[in-house]
Amino acid sequence: MPQIALVTGTSSGMGLHTAVGLAGRGITVIATLRDPARADALLAAAAAAGVRLDIRALDVTDHAGAARCVDEVLHTYGRLDILINNAGRGSVGSLEQLSMDDLRAQLEVNYLGVAALTKLALTPMRLAGSGRIVTVTSVGGAVGQPFADAYCGAKFAVEGLMQSLAPVVANFGIGVSVVEPGAVASDFVASVAGVLTPHDEPAVPQTSDDDPYAGMLQSYLAHSRTAFAAAQSAADAAAVIIEAATTATPRFRWQTSPGAGAFAGMSLADLDGAKVLAQTRTWVHSD
């Protein structure tokens, strides 16, 4: 009997390739996205791969809708074996430039939406005595970056949640992992290179010549454009997500490329924070 996987944020990029790739392994995939009208690319990729997907609408910030979605999956298939929390949003702005609504929006998508859906998946997985939960975070979940205050704050939060949850639910046969991509090529990159995330396009704050942040923001955006010029493909990043979800030897933390591994590792080994700040300060030189 095939495993059942629920994947969020599948309209493009890593989510699309993850859904199609899991289906290619014989897993029954419920591919969710906020707007089913945006499923053309997903359907085309599935057809090209010769796989079928169960495509459903899901906005991860709609917790009641998430509960209905999980209930429908359990009613249709009887269980849920794999949850891939991929849906997310980017944000560009330093704290003084951000509103409280900006901060809340990042938490709603990148933290609370993930927490709510994971909570829903835990009960059937615990009762079954098995399951795999994989959350796509970012190198921004390990390394704070200039003008990514809200985004990195939410990603740090979700990594803390998952790392705290992992040893507890392991006693029920449930594996919990985070996947940390670096720069990943996507529609986001084509429009604005803002923060190191493959997710939805963030709005870049409007600045003026007398804005104290203007020079630093332009320096940061120039750095990001350089980073994304050598971005990893979404398909290659998705291959790591699929491995994390299906491997017989799971681990908690995965990076999707050697560059992402080196960058995240710098922070994880940086006990006094000096190495990270020394590097990220060079991103925001202001003339």
pLDDT at 197 over 60: no
pLDDT at 190 over 80: no
Give the amino acid at 276: V
pLDDT at 210: 77
Estimate to the nearest angstrom the gap between the alpha carbon of 179 and the chain centroid: 8
Q: How many residues in total does the chain contain?
A: 287
Scanning the structure block, which residue is given the tokens 């629920």? 6
Taking CA atoms, 88 is separated from 73, 128, 243, in Å, by: 22, 28, 20
Is 220 catalytic? The answer is no
* 178: DSSP letter: E
More confident residue, 121 or 226: 121
What's the pLDDT band for 32 if we cut at 50, 70, 90? very high
- Averaged over 164-193, what is the pLDDT? 83
The model's pLDDT over 123-157, given as tens digits with 9 standing for 90+, comes to: 999 999 999 999 999 999 999 999 999 999 999 99
More confident residue, 142 or 207: 142
Domain count, the chain: 1
Which CATH number fits the domain that encloses residue 98? 3.40.50.720
- Distance (Å, whole) CA 224 – CA 93: 14
pLDDT at 189: 45
Q: Which long-range contacts (CB under 8 A, 24 or more apart) does 153-161 make?
A: 153/103, 153/106, 153/107, 154/106, 154/107, 154/109, 154/110, 154/111, 155/110, 157/107, 157/110, 157/111, 158/110, 158/111, 158/114, 158/115, 161/111, 161/114, 161/115
pTM: 0.91
Is residue 62 packed enough to be buried (19+ CB in 10 Å), middle (13-18) or exposed (0-12)?
A: middle
Angle at the Cα of 198 (from 196 to 200), degrees rounded to 5? 110
- Distance (Å, whole) CA 234 – CA 240: 10
CB atoms within 10 A of CB 101: 8
- Distance (Å, whole) CA 93 – CA 194: 9
What's the pLDDT band for 199 if we cut at 50, 70, 90? very low
pLDDT at 198: 43
Beta partners for 135? 85, 178
Percent pLDDT > 90 in the chain is 80
Could you tell me the residue range of the domain that residue 211 belongs to?
A: 4-284
- Of 111, 151, 213, 220, the active-site residue reads 151
pLDDT at 170 over 50: yes
pLDDT at 56 over 80: yes
- Averaged over 95-124, what is the pLDDT? 97
Average per-residue pLDDT in the chain?
Answer: 91
- Averaged over 71-81, what is the pLDDT? 98
pLDDT at 58: 97
pLDDT at 67 over 80: yes
Please state which of the ranges 84-88, 105-109, 175-179, 265-269 shows the lowest mean pLDDT: 265-269
Note whether 84 and 134 are within 8 A (CB). Answer: yes
